[in-house]
Structure 1
Amino acid sequence: MQDISSLIVVAITCLLLGAAIGYFILGRTKPGQQNRAALEKQFNDMQQQQQDYQQQVSSHFDRTGELLNELAESYRSVHNHIVDGAQNLHSSGISPLQAIPEGRPVLDSKPVEAAPVAPPLDYAPKQPGKKGALHEEFGMDSEKKPSDNPEPTPPLV
């Protein structure tokens, strides 16, 4: 009977030891799950940082626009003050300066559309009645054509 109980204890011990070893081996062979969770967390963190950065850029440019409008309004006030002073203090009462109208927005939020631009030409356009740039005689003067009887060159002495 003792042999059977010893055999059962050894079998249970081997079973538990095998399960523990299997658990550790399984944990070592599947690090993808741990890496995946770490990569997902890193991706979410980077996505949040990108959104925060975009928000900072947007608020920065909004504030810059407000400050530029305030600066333009201050400039307009100073300019109009100078115009008023020039009109009141100038001997003839006429000033070459003109007041800038109030209430007009300085910076519009709507972008100005530029006129469409044609791409540059990669050839010289042909003028009416003339040979084009790709013609073999382009740029050659018709008056300076070589004659059939060239004049002989004098011999060197």
Structure 2
Amino acid sequence: MVGAIVLCIGGLIGAVISRKFIPPEHQKELETNLQAAREDLKQYQQDVAQHFEETSRLVHNLTQSYKEVHEHLAKGAIHLTNSDISRQMLEAGDGNIGVEAGALLAETTVLPPRDWAPKTPGQKGTLSEEFGLLDEAEAENAEKPKEEKEIN
């Protein structure tokens, strides 16, 4: 207990002596420096908050621009390609396209190419390797004048 009392008395004596030996000008200077440091800290905190607010706004704008580019590509894909490719592109993104592009996709119907199938039984389609090539007999008939064909 005696030790605690001596410690408290020593602390009080040290505080009184330090006030006597530190000049009041120096004390005011320290208080001014402390106040300036607090103001600098406050300004720094405001700058950091403003920086993150601006960064957040710019990232939001970037995200919007990305969405607009993706929607533009999706609309182009819907309009310029077949529906399978369009659906794959939409699935690669978030799948959320504008109302206009969604309506365009809903309207799109895909028909198979018509020239793969023969036009009449036995006739070759336009994609056939033999399309447009005539047999020798057909070539001779094609060379005869129209009048001879009518006579025969």
- Shared topology, TM-score over 0.5? no
* TM-score after normalising by structure 2: 0.44
* TM-score after normalising by structure 1: 0.43
